[in-house]
Amino acid sequence: MDYDVIIIGAGPGGIFAAYELSKGDPDLRIAIFETGKPLSERRCPIDGVKVTSCIHCESCSIMSGFGGAGAFSDGKYNITNDFGGTLHSYIGKERAIELMEYVDQINLDNGGAGTKLYSTANASLKRTCMENKLKLLDAHVRHLGTDINLVVLGRLYDTLCPKVDMFFHTPVERVELVDGGYRVQVQGASYTSGLCIISAGRSGSKWMEQVCRDLDIATESNRVDIGVRLELPAELFSHITDELYESKIVYRTEKFEDKVRTFCMNPHGIVVSENTNGIVTVNGHSYEDPDRQTDNTNFALLVSKHFSEPFSDSNGYGESIARLSNMLGGGVIVQRFGDLIRGRRSTHERIGDGFVTPTLQAEPGDLSLVLPKRIMDGIIEMVYALDKIAPGTANDDTLLYGVEVKFYNMHVAVNGNLESCHEGLYVIGDCSGVTHSLSHASASGVYVARDILQKRNAG
Ligand SMILES: Cc1cc2nc3c(=O)[nH]c(=O)nc-3n(C[C@H](O)[C@H](O)[C@H](O)COP(=O)(O)OP(=O)(O)OC[C@H]3O[C@@H](n4cnc5c(N)ncnc54)[C@H](O)[C@@H]3O)c2cc1C
């Protein structure tokens, strides 16, 4: 065998698996294969001047490369079992929290010291939410910020470099079973290992489906979250974000009893576009460094949809909606809330006249022509519900960017060790459908590394 362990994907799942393995047994021969670039080379060409919108790079620097989809994220590590994945249902709630706290400590030791840990415990907002038919989910949130997140990733890279062979610009094409292990096929070469950890994230979702078909690994459809990203003056949410930074608030709509929730809150942040397999959607992040902060706060409002019979392609449904918005707006569409409820499209003039200056150059348009009525109605209801706890949310000038789609990978059948039906083939992080956050994905990496180390020690 060329290696003891091959890891596919250098996102948080892969990085933390490699970190824990190399720490636990420095003699292990480990390789990481990654489609994208090393951290220092990752750069999105959108500069707001020469390149103002997504040019569909072959490998998206936002989604791929060392650090994975999380590299330029806001670096919010949510330590909770309430959201971010269902790791706890495989490994138990206590273990999941313990691993997330362990990851947090590693981040602190690698440049994150001094960053703030927010908590919903005893938050006055909890009661205010209840009084207004909203529910605040419990969590501790470590906010690294995009800048410190990159520092932490840089240090982890330096730690791993001498211990792990890293192959960048090297997408794994196929994973094959061989005697005593696995063979990964990359362009023009192949490598073998006794054990294989797949951590291909969201950008690797289509490829992961193929791997499961090739290796007869059972899968199940997952949900898709569809909605918009709101941007408004930071002052309107400061009483919430100053205390909690990130608050996950859930609302059940009166009309359809659908759940709408806030997601990925970025105080003083910026709205960004992202490209997943050629589909441009919206996202957001913010910097810890005050010099890079803006006057706006942004967060998503999402509605979950899950299809099973006779149509089961939840992601396909989300993709179609995103494609429709890309068709109408050439990318991300932005609309003032006042225009949305008056049934008219936004224009550059109306947005220019507004009191909220957009942080993303998106095409002014009409989101009601993109989102299904049921989802749009739910979002409008939620905006009015939030207006009760943060007056001003439903102002005419509040900006809505669309569409935001959270694609979830299908659930890959894994056991309590996150191991597939093939012994020694682990599937972790977002590509397993088990996690969808930095903290859960990282924790899943540590978890399988410990399982491997324990089995090696026992054997
Ligand atoms: C803009 C943005 C902001 C976010 N903000 C937050 C946040 O603040 N907090 C939070 O908890 N979560 C956030 N997320 C989500 C978070 O980044 C992911 O949940 C997390 O990165 C998942 O980690 P992962 O290791 O499972 O996968 P990923 O981070 O997606 O990494 C997978 C890696 O595998 C590589 N890969 C894929 N296929 C192959 C292949 N065939 N061969 C080789 N390599 C392959 C990819 O290039 C990628 O680098 C954000 C995501 C985005 C896009």
pLDDT score at 182? 98
Q: Is the CB of 199 under 6 A from ligand 1?
A: yes
pLDDT confidence tier of residue 435, bands split at 50, 70 and 90 = very high
For the chain, what is the mean pLDDT? 94
pLDDT score at 46? 78
Atom number of ligand 1 nearest to Cα 202: 30
Pocket test for ligand 1, best of 199, 205, 436 (most atoms within 8 A of CB): 199
Question: Does a cis peptide bond (omega within 30 degrees of 0) precede residue 403?
Answer: yes
| Angstrom distance (rounded) from CA 87 to CA 73 | 21
pLDDT score at 245? 85
pLDDT score at 79? 96
pLDDT score at 73? 82
Does the CA dihedral 358-363-364-369 come out positive or negative? Answer: negative
Q: Which of 127-131, 271-275, 429-433 has the lowest mean pLDDT?
A: 271-275
Count Cβ atoms within 10 A of the Cβ of residue 67 and give its class: 0-12 exposed, 13-18 middle, 19 or more buried: buried
- Residue 47 pLDDT more than 90? no
Q: Which of 72, 237, 246, 239 is nearest to 145 (CA)?
A: 72
Q: 203: alpha, beta or left, given left = phi > 0 and alpha = psi -120 to 50?
A: alpha
pLDDT confidence tier of residue 120, bands split at 50, 70 and 90 = confident
Pocket test for ligand 1, best of 35, 185, 286 (most atoms within 8 A of CB): 35
pLDDT score at 289? 81
Q: What are the beta bridge partners of residue 230?
A: 299, 400
pLDDT score at 311? 86
- Closest protein CA for atom 18 of ligand 1: 437
- Residue 122 pLDDT more than 80? no
Q: Is the CB of 445 under 6 A from ligand 1?
A: no
pLDDT score at 268? 95
**CB-based burial, 286-315: b 16+ in 10 Å, e otherwise:** bbbeeeebbebbbbbbbbbbebeeeeeebb
CB 405 within 8 A of CB 226: yes
pLDDT score at 96? 98
pLDDT score at 403? 96
Average pLDDT of 204-211? Answer: 93
| d(CA 125, ligand 1 centre) in Å | 31
Condensed to tens digits (0 to 9), the pLDDT of residues 339-386 reads 999 999 999 999 999 999 999 999 999 999 999 999 999 999 999 999
- Closest protein CA for atom 20 of ligand 1: 438
- Residue 130 pLDDT more than 90? yes
Condensed to tens digits (0 to 9), the pLDDT of residues 395-416 reads 999 999 999 999 888 999 999 9
pLDDT score at 421? 98
| d(CA 312, ligand 1 centre) in Å | 24
Average pLDDT of 285-310? Answer: 90
Express as a percent the part of the chain with pLDDT over 90.
79
Reported in sequence order, the residue ranges of 247-368 that DSSP labels E, i.e. its strands, are: 249-252, 259-266, 270-276, 279-285, 296-305, 333-336, 363-364
- Residue 168 pLDDT more than 80? yes
Average pLDDT of 18-46? Answer: 94
| Angstrom distance (rounded) from CA 35 to CA 22 | 22
Average pLDDT of 57-77? Answer: 88
439: number of CA atoms within 13 Å, CB side? Answer: 30
